[in-house]
Amino acid sequence: MNKTVLDLWVGLFVIAGVAALLFLALKVGSVNAVSASNSYEVVARFDNIGGLKPRAPVKSAGVVVGRVEDIRFDNETYEAAVTLRLDKRYAFPKDTSAAIMTSGLLGEQYISLAAGGDSQMLKDKDRVLITQSAVVLENLIGRFMYSQAQEGAQK
C-alpha cells in the first residue's frame, strides 16, 4: 500500500512537470494567434525575405499588430509574396510601408509596419506597395570584404 501511494505521487509529479513544460512551450512560442474573424489580410512583396518564417510577428511602433500568415514565391514577378494577418483593431493607411527587421544582431526576423499619411485605410486583400527587403548579414560582410580588397589593390 505504501509503494502504491508513492507511485501515485511520482505519477502526479511527472504529469505536473509535463504540463509545466507544455505551458512554457506555448508561452515561448507566442501562441496568441489572431483569429480569422477579428482580422484582415494584406499582401506585401519582397525581393528577399531572409530568414522570415510563417507566424513571425508583424509589429508597428514595437507593438505586435498581427502575424505572418503565409509566404510563397511568385513565378511571374520572382518575388516573395508575404501574406500578413492584421488585427482589425489596428487600421493602417494605404501608403503604409513594410520592412523586414531583425530583433537584435542575430535574433528572429519580423515585419515592421510604418504608417503613412493617406486618408484611405488598408482593407482585406489589399497590397502594401512600399516594402524594404531583409538585410542579409552574409551579403554585408561580403560587400565589406570586397571593398577592402579593392582598396588594398589600389594602394
- pLDDT tens column, 136-155: 777 778 888 888 888 777 76
What does the pLDDT average to over 89-118?
92
Identify whether 153 is part of a domain: no
pLDDT in tens, 75-85: 999 999 999 99
Statement to judge: residues 73 and 52 lie in one domain: yes
Statement to judge: residues 57 and 17 lie in one domain: no
Statement to judge: residues 14 and 60 lie in one domain: no
pLDDT on residue 3: 84
Identify whether 123 is part of a domain: yes
Contacts 24+ apart (CB under 8 A), 110-113: 110/52, 110/56, 110/57, 110/58, 110/59, 111/44, 111/52, 111/56, 111/57, 111/58, 111/59, 111/68, 111/82, 111/84, 112/58, 112/59, 112/60, 113/58, 113/59, 113/60, 113/65
Identify whether 150 is part of a domain: no
pLDDT on residue 1: 61
Statement to judge: residues 42 and 26 lie in one domain: no
pLDDT on residue 104: 76
pLDDT in tens, 22-74: 888 877 765 555 566 789 999 999 999 988 999 999 999 999 999 999 999 99
pLDDT on residue 140: 79
As a residue count, the chain comes to 155
What does the pLDDT average to over 96-113?
89
Identify whether 86 is part of a domain: yes
Of residues 135 and 72, more confidently modeled: 72
Statement to judge: residues 97 and 112 lie in one domain: yes
pLDDT in tens, 92-103: 999 999 999 988
Question: Domain range holding 107?
Answer: 36-141
Statement to judge: residues 99 and 117 lie in one domain: yes
Statement to judge: residues 16 and 89 lie in one domain: no
CA 7, CA 94: separation in Å to the nearest integer? 62
pTM for this structure? 0.70
Statement to judge: residues 60 and 90 lie in one domain: yes
Identify whether 155 is part of a domain: no
Query: How many domains is the chain partitioned into structurally?
Result: 2
Identify whether 116 is part of a domain: yes
